[in-house]
Structures are given as C-alpha cells and as structure tokens.
Amino acid sequence: MKASIHPKWYPEAKVICACGNTFTTGASVPEIHVEVCYNCHPFYTGQMKFVDTAGRVDAFKAKQAAAKKKIISKTEKRKIKRAKRLQEEQERPTSLSELRGQA
C-alpha cells in the first residue's frame, strides 16, 4: 500500500452534538459537529419531538407546491422553443451594414 495517499487518522476524534453531548470516536478529522446524537434523537430517547434541520420540511413543501403549479407537456415545450428560435432569427441583422451599425 502507498503511504502518502491515505488521510491522517485521529483515534480520539471529538464528536460534539448540538444538544451539548460530546463523545470520542475514530475519524479522519479531529472534530465533528452533529445536529442529532444518540442522547437527543427521538428514536433512542422515546420522546416524540419534531426534528427539522435547516428547514428541510419547509423546503420540501415549497418544492412540492412549485411542482404542482404548472406542468408543461413536451409538445408545449417544443412550441415555446421553436417560437424562441424564430424570434432570435428575426432579431439577427440581415445585412453587413446592420451588423456594423450594432457594434
């Protein structure tokens, strides 16, 4: 095995939870910050509590609402793309004098 390709191993890496709990484990980084640990996770504690990290539930609901807003079929997308392409072609200069006048 090559010695220079492996990350440095920290056998006493410190894990710090948002609830204040700390413990040590082996890792490739000296310090790890987590939001939920065995001390505060609802599965291990038996308490029912809402765990929402960084608004993931709200972001998911907003994403679902945006998806329901307007669904465009493939044929409609093709028509829009074709109209856009035709518009761009009409806006192009038709002669060399028009091209020089724009620049």
Domains of the chain: 10-47+56-92 (4.10.80.400)
Note if the pTM is more than 0.75.
no
Residue type, 100: R
Residue type, 41: H
Residues 10-39: tens digit of each pLDDT: 999 999 998 899 999 999 999 999 988 888
Residues 43-93: tens digit of each pLDDT: 777 777 666 666 777 888 888 888 887 778 899 999 999 999 999 999 888
Residue-level pLDDT at 57: 79
- The DSSP secondary structure of 37-68, one letter per residue, reads -TTT-HHHH-------STTHHHHHHHHHHHHH
Residue-level pLDDT at 88: 92
